[in-house]
Amino acid sequence: MEKKDINEVEKQMNLANDGLSDKEKTLFSDARPQVVPPVHKIFENFRNWARAQSLWMLAFGTGCGAIELRPLMTSRYDMSRYGIAPRPSPRQSSVFIIGGYASLKTIKRIVRSYEQMQGPKFVIALGSCTINGGMYYDSYYTINRIDHYIPVDIYVTGCMPRPESLLAGFNKLKERIRAGRADGMNKYAENFDWYKKNQKRIIKDWNMPDYNW
C-alpha cells in the first residue's frame, strides 16, 4: 500500500515530457517545479529587501517594447541607481520584462526563459498588448493575455509606455517585493498544470520538456 503511494507520488513528481522523442527524454530533466515556502519572517523580509534592491533584468527583448528598455540604461534615465542591471542569462536574472505583444513564436521562448530563471522571479508586462492584445486583439498570431501563460507581477500600460512609466513600474514592483507579495514563482508551481495546459493549447510544436529547468 505504502509502496504504491510512493510510486504514485513519484509519477506525479515526474513530468511526462511528451513533446520529446524517447532519445531526447534522457537529455532533459523531468522534475516538476516545486513550491518553496519562504523562510522565517524576519529573515525573509531582509531577503526581500535585498531582492528589491538588486533587480537584474533579463536582457531578452521579446517584442517592440524592448526598444524602451535601452533608454533606461542611458544617462538620462539611469536605471542602475535603483539597483537595476541588465543580465544576459536567465539563470542569473530575477526580472523578466515582456516587451509588448507576444506572438505564438515568442511565447514559446518566453515560457522557456521564464522557467529557466531561478525563483523568486518577477515579471513586468509592458504595454497594452500584454494585457488584452491591444491593437492586435484579433490577430491570429498574437497572445492576448500574457498572464494565462506565466504569472505577471506588474502591468505597465500604454502603447508604448515611456521609460518613465517603466521606472514607475519597477518601483511598484519593488514595493510588492518588499511586501512579500511578489511570489509568482510559487504561484506558477502551484498552478503548474493549468499554466501548462494553456501554454500547450496554443503552442503546437511543443518540442521542449514540460518544464525547462
Partner 1 sequence: MDIWTKIFYAVISVVIATIYGLALGGVVRKIYARVHGRYGPPVWQPFIDIIKTHAKRVAVSHGIMFYLGPVFRFAGGLGTYLFIPVIFGSAVFANFSMAGDLLLVMYFIFFGQLGMALGAGEGGHPYSPLGIARGLSQMTTFEVPFALSVIALAIQYHTLNITAIVAAQQGSILNWTLFTNPFAVVAAMISMLGMNMHSPFSIVLAPQEIPIGPPIEMNSSFLATLQTNRGLFVAAKLILFMNLYFGGATNLVVMIVKTFLIYMFSVFVGAAFPRFRPEQAMRFFLKWPTIIGIISIIFVAYL
Partner 2 sequence: MVNPIYIIILSLITGFLLSIFDKIGRKLSMTIFYGVLSFNLFVMAIWFYRLLVVDVTPLLINTAGFVAPISINLRMGLQEAFILLFSNFIALFAAIYLFKKFKKAKISSLVLYLILSMGVNGLVMTRDLFNIFVFLEIVSISTFALITLEKNLKSLSAGFKYMLAGGVVSTFFLLGVIFVYYFSGNLNLDFINTGTFNNLGMIAVFMMSLGIFIELKPFPANGWALDVYEATDSGIVSVIAVVNSAAIFYVFYKIMPMIPNNLLQLLGYAGLLTFVLSSLMGLKQENAKRLLGYSSIGQMGLLISAVVFTTNAPEFISILIVGGFLVNHLLAKAGLFWITGIVKKEKIADWGVLNHSKPLLILFGLLLFALASLPPFPGFWAKWEFIRWLIMEKMTVVAVLVLIGSLCEIAFLFRWFNLAVKKEDLQESQIETSHSMNLPVAFLAGVLAVIPVIIMKYFYQIDLIHLAPVIALIVIFIIEIIPSKIKGILSLITLGTYGYYLYPLLSGLQLFFAVIFIIGGGIILISTFNRKGLNQNFYGLLLMMILSLGNLLIAKGYLEFFLNWEFMTISSYLLFLRGKNARNSSFVYLIFSIAGAYLLMLGFAFAPAVSSDMVLLKSITQIQLPLVSIILMSLGFLIKSGSLGVHIWVPDAYAEAEDDVTALIAGILSKVGILGFFVLAVSAISHKPDIDIFYWIGWIGVLSTIIGAFLAVFQEDMKRLLAYSSMSQIGYIVASVAMLSHLGLVTALYLSFNHLLFKGLIFLAIAGVIYRTKTRNMYEMGGLIKKMPISYISVLIGIIAVSGVPPLSGFGSKWLLYSAFIEKGWYLQSGVLFFASAVSFLYLYRLIHSVFLGQLKYEHQNVKEAPIWFILPQLIFIIALMTISTFPNLIIQPLNAIVGNYIDSSIVIDGYKVTSSLGYWNGNQVMMVTMGVFMVPLLLLLLLIGKTQKVKQFNIVFAAERPESPQTTHVAHNMYAHYKKVLGGWGKPRILSFWNGVAEWTHSLGNLFRQFYTGNGQTYILHIILYMVVLYIILGV
| Contact between 62 and partner 1 per CB under 8 A | no
Minimum distance from residue 206 beta carbon to partner 2 (Å): 11
Exposure string of 98-119, with b = 16+ CB inside 10 Å and e = fewer, is bbbbbbeebbbebbebbbbbeb
Per CB under 8 A, the list member of 1, 6, 27, 42 interacting with partner 2 is: 27
Q: Tell me whether residue 81 or residue 204 sits nearer to partner 1 (CB atom).
A: 81
Check: CB of residue 19 under 8 Å from CB of residue 210.
Answer: yes
Dmax of the chain from CA atoms?
A: 66
Per CB under 8 A, the list member of 53, 54, 80, 89 interacting with partner 2 is: 89
185 binds, among partner 1, partner 2, none (CB under 5 to 8 A by kind): partner 1
Minimum distance from residue 140 beta carbon to partner 1 (Å): 33
| Contact between 34 and partner 2 per CB under 8 A | yes
Minimum distance from residue 129 beta carbon to partner 1 (Å): 27
Q: Tell me whether residue 3 or residue 23 sits nearer to partner 2 (CB atom).
A: 23
User: Which residues, including other chains, have CB under 8 Å from residue 1's CB and lie 6 or more apart?
Assistant: none
| Contact between 75 and partner 1 per CB under 8 A | yes
Q: Tell me whether residue 56 or residue 206 sits nearer to partner 1 (CB atom).
A: 56
CA distance 146 to 114: 12
CA distance 64 to 127: 10
| Contact between 23 and partner 2 per CB under 8 A | yes
Look at strands 122-126 and 95-99 and give their pairing: parallel
Residues 126-185 that bind partner 2 (CB under 8 A): none
Check: CB of residue 163 under 8 Å from CB of residue 72.
Answer: yes
Strand partners, 57: 86, 95
CA distance 137 to 143: 8
Three-state secondary structure call for residue 70: helix
| Contact between 74 and partner 2 per CB under 8 A | no
Residues 173-212 that bind partner 1 (CB under 8 A): 185
- Point out which residues bind partner 2 (CB under 8 A): 23-24, 26-29, 31, 34, 36, 60, 89-91, 109-110, 112-113, 116, 207-209, 212-213
